[in-house]
Structure 1
């Protein structure tokens, strides 16, 4: 059994659209973040060390070279790819610089889509309009917003530097232009429970969303949380607990919403804990097992509507 049997996944949507799965080419365009450069702060979010998710050696290579290397590693059976600006805040720079970087990526003839990851407080109207222009050429464009949680107290605790209101505003402006929004959420943030996860999902669904990415909190070297974890001050989710919580949220999510990811994978030695996040399939298998027994995406909503 695979996740596609129970969840509307990004992979299955691409396969239906293009005839095969489409691979994402992760790009590090040397962007920074207002929570690191002094605009909001210098320490960054407490869970973050961008080296854990940025392209290997990416900052030393041009975008075109990164894409060439990415194609060599991630062979697509269709020969088509999505350019994914993931590292740091990929809408946080002067408009002309952003446009130059995006243009360089989509100039590759094998690119059929563009994903731009960013913070919800760093998305001005002119950048949204630029993404709309790309979309009008036929590119599959996604704006990925790192919300993490809809609990303002937690956002402050993890030094996020923005609140839920900024997220709501950006979603409204993006979706009113016809742009698709994928929201990132972290389960297991300090002090949060299943009730917080549900409240976050309810908030996201209420204000409109097209895709979701779910991640377990994991501790990476170089983060502020690494110090707290070493001091025994942070308790992390076990694989089974995470899988159960994720599966419950999936059942509460309407079937038209696309799940881009339902777990996370990180490499040692950058990954400190939990160990199960160091194995690509462990968390996913546990989630699928729960869905197979208790129902897949939207099943809780269907049950509620029929009762």
Structure 2
């Protein structure tokens, strides 16, 4: 039986106890393919609320009415939202950490900057937010969701310094596919150029790389999806997240689906791909996720993405029959 290194098993081995990732979403953060820097409208499947629980928990810490509307990017020289962002970080952390402490007796945490692109902001803003996160009670490190075209070398150097001080630092890169035609069709706003080099630069500083892949993207075959996985493994990664593409309302993918120009992946086909994937993923690579979905009325299809428990029961049965323990 092949035993997969899940994130829970990794944390238990690394820290000797359970560690919970605390999802954080901060006001003002966006992406360069939303704000028009490289594209407009965002990825065709993207509705951050559908996969970021903290985005709906951005509390009543609103910007003063007379303050200008600010979106994070590399060019702004002042950030009037910074104190609000720090307050939101602390409030969301407090809510989530107390919940997991009281319900599951978790005592250690990894701050997960989840929504949008969390390196796409002025350096001073990022440095303050990262330092505030690492200073929170019982925090062992950070995981930072970002894009391959939004990571400056000085941010890598900063994160590398945290690693030298004993912190657990991950950068989660949304790769999704290694096919440029797919990235263009999904409006990612970047190509695969430079990805392998960026992974190498990141890991050279001791920062762990978690690559995200989506199975079921328009016009991709199972062979293409597995080729994306094999290519990323060749580049060198410390962790992987794989999840199915699902259709939520308010996205361009919804239009493709309703016009019958996109057919979501079936659960059986997705399960076969996960089995094939976990057979080739090395046992020292942390498999952080193999399922995803939207648990509200925004989900249009496939309906099996509504209930993660149904997904995981089915996947675990398939994996067990293939000699894999997840």
TM-score (norm 2): 0.86
* Per-residue deviation, residues 25-52 of structure 1 (Å, max 9, x unmatched): 1111231100011101221010101111
Structure 1 stretches of 4+ moved >6 Å? none
Q: Tell me the CA shift for residue 56 of structure 1.
A: 4.1
The answer for the alignment partner of 2:23 in structure 1 is: 26
**Corresponding residue to 2:197 among 158, 169, 182:** 169
The answer for the alignment partner of 1:283 in structure 2 is: 311
**Aligned 1:1-307 pairs, distance under 5 A:** 6-30=3-27, 31-54=29-52, 55-60=54-59, 61=61, 62-75=88-101, 76-296=104-324
How has the CA–CA distance of structure 1 residues 5 and 44 changed in structure 2, closer, same or farther, with 3 Å as cutoff?
Answer: same
Mapped partners of 2:55, 2:36: distance in 1: 26
Mapped partners of 1:166, 1:43: distance in 2: 24
* Per-residue deviation, residues 190-214 of structure 1 (Å, max 9, x unmatched): 1111110121011101111110000
Do the aligned partners of 2:55 and 2:115 also contact (CA within 8 Å) in 1? Answer: no
Q: Tell which deviates more after alignment, 91-100 or 166-175.
A: 166-175
- What is the DSSP-based 3-state SS (H/G/I as helix, E as strand, rest coil) of the residue aligned with 1:191? coil
How has the CA–CA distance of structure 1 residues 159 and 217 changed in structure 2, closer, same or farther, with 3 Å as cutoff?
Answer: same
Mapped partners of 2:221, 2:309: distance in 1: 24
- What is the DSSP-based 3-state SS (H/G/I as helix, E as strand, rest coil) of the residue aligned with 1:269? coil
Aligned residue pairs total 294
Mapped partners of 2:39, 2:280: distance in 1: 36
Mapped partners of 1:105, 1:151: distance in 2: 35
| Unpaired segments ≥5 residues, structure 2 | 62-87
Mapped partners of 1:69, 1:14: distance in 2: 22
Mapped partners of 2:139, 2:44: distance in 1: 34
Root-mean-square deviation (CA), in Å? 1.6
Mapped partners of 1:110, 1:219: distance in 2: 37
Mapped partners of 2:241, 2:23: distance in 1: 16
Mapped partners of 1:71, 1:271: distance in 2: 28
Mapped partners of 2:93, 2:165: distance in 1: 21
TM-score (norm 1): 0.91
The answer for the alignment partner of 1:304 in structure 2 is: none
